[in-house]
């Protein structure tokens, strides 16, 4: 049973003076301007947009596109190209993409690219098959970028980040002439027997776990304190997600406060 003392909202369409304010009429909070050192997206991403595969956290490029990058087809669309080889060191030493950088440590990765930002660059991650290590490192890289720019969503320092589809194995099978050296498998018998595989795997997992632990703690420390709806409206930087901002505006609207 509803109480008759509860005031009901005025919904009489014939009284425009009393018409509730619509949600889309409420002034939107100003989003902070991008930081001055924010990296601008290159034209490379726009050029290959139709070729990208978006089945993960980071888009994938094909071996053909990777070959074209090495051959300089898109060199006028960016200033720097970084190929990040996330395989273990013995795999990298057995053969790799020309000028690829061996980085299988998330900490070393963030140190290299975030202590001093590199503008207008294309970054491509890969491992042997680009199923685990490469995509995981790329995802950690993107998440770190998002966290650093949480007050400037959706801006990030490095918009042109990709994963090489099929990894080094697939690229080597199609373009062996574009590789330095051959192809050493992660499960190579020699490196299984001498302990390289176990040692490298343990070290990689420990590095990733350490970064994830620090990331979780950073999110806990950053989490904004509870505030009323009016305070949230005046503090758009408290949220990273547009969905959160939209919910906040609805809570503070005259329609919501009438009930």
Placement of tokens 């071996």 in the chain: 63
| Strand intervals (E) in the chain | 60-61, 80-85, 95-96, 101-102, 121-126, 161-164, 180-181
Residue 144, exposed/middle/buried by CB under 10 A (0-12, 13-18, 19+)?
buried
Q: How do beta strands 60-61 and 161-164 pair? A: parallel
Residue 130 CB contacts under 8 Å (≥ 6 apart), including other chains: 60, 163, 164, 165, 166, 167, 170
Rounded distance between C-alpha atoms, residue 21 and residue 256, angstroms? 10
Residue 254 CB contacts under 8 Å (≥ 6 apart), including other chains: 20, 21
Tokens encoding 27: 């002034």
pLDDT for 42: 76
pLDDT for 36: 44
pLDDT for 195: 97
pLDDT for 235: 36
- The CATH architecture assigned to 43-218 reads 3-Layer(aba) Sandwich (3.40)
Mean pLDDT over 197-220 rounds to: 88
Rounded distance between C-alpha atoms, residue 17 and residue 217, angstroms? 51
pLDDT for 49: 82
* pLDDT tens digits along 99-127: 999 999 999 999 999 999 999 999 999 99
pLDDT for 41: 65
pLDDT for 23: 42
Rounded distance between C-alpha atoms, residue 233 and residue 214, angstroms? 30
pLDDT beyond 50 at 203: yes
Going by pLDDT thresholds of 50, 70 and 90, the confidence category of residue 21 is very low
What is the pTM (predicted TM-score) of this model?
0.70
pLDDT beyond 60 at 98: yes
pLDDT beyond 90 at 258: no
Sheet holding 101-102, edge to edge: 60-61, 161-164, 121-126, 80-85, 101-102
Average pLDDT, the chain: 79
* pLDDT tens digits along 34-90: 444 455 567 888 888 878 888 778 999 999 999 999 999 999 999 999 999 999 999
Going by pLDDT thresholds of 50, 70 and 90, the confidence category of residue 191 is very high
What are the residue numbers of the active site?
A: 127
30 vs 62, higher pLDDT: 62
Going by pLDDT thresholds of 50, 70 and 90, the confidence category of residue 143 is very high
172 vs 3, higher pLDDT: 172
pLDDT for 222: 61
pLDDT for 121: 95
pLDDT beyond 70 at 27: no
């Amino acid at each position: 049973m509803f109480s008759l003392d509860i005031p009901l909202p005025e919904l009489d369409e014939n009284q425009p003076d009393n018409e509730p304010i619509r949600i889309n009429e409420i002034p939107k909070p100003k989003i902070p301007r991008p930081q001055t050192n924010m990296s601008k997206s290159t034209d490379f991403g726009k050029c290959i947009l139709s070729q990208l595969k978006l089945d993960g956290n980071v888009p994938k490029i094909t071996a053909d596109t990777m070959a074209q990058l090495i051959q300089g087809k898109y060199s006028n669309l960016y200033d720097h190209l970084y190929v990040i080889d996330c395989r273990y060191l013995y795999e990298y030493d057995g053969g790799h993409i020309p000028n690829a950088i061996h980085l299988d440590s998330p900490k070393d990765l963030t140190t290299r690219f975030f202590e001093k930002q590199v503008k207008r660059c294309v970054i491509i991650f890969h491992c042997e098959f680009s199923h685990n290590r490469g995509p995981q490192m790329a995802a950690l890289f993107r998440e770190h970028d998002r966290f650093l720019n949480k007050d400037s969503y959706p801006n990030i320092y490095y918009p042109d980040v990709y994963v090489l589809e099929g990894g080094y194995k697939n690229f080597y099978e199609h373009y062996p002439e574009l590789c330095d050296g051959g192809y050493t498998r992660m499960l190579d018998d020699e490196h299984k027997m001498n302990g390289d595989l176990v040692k490298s795997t343990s070290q990689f997992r420990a590095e990733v776990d350490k970064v994830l632990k620090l990331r979780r703690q950073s999110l806990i420390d950053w989490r904004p304190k509870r505030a009323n709806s009016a305070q949230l409206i005046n503090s758009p930087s408290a949220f990273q997600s547009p969905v959160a901002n939209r919910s906040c505006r609805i809570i503070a609207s005259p329609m919501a406060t009438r009930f």
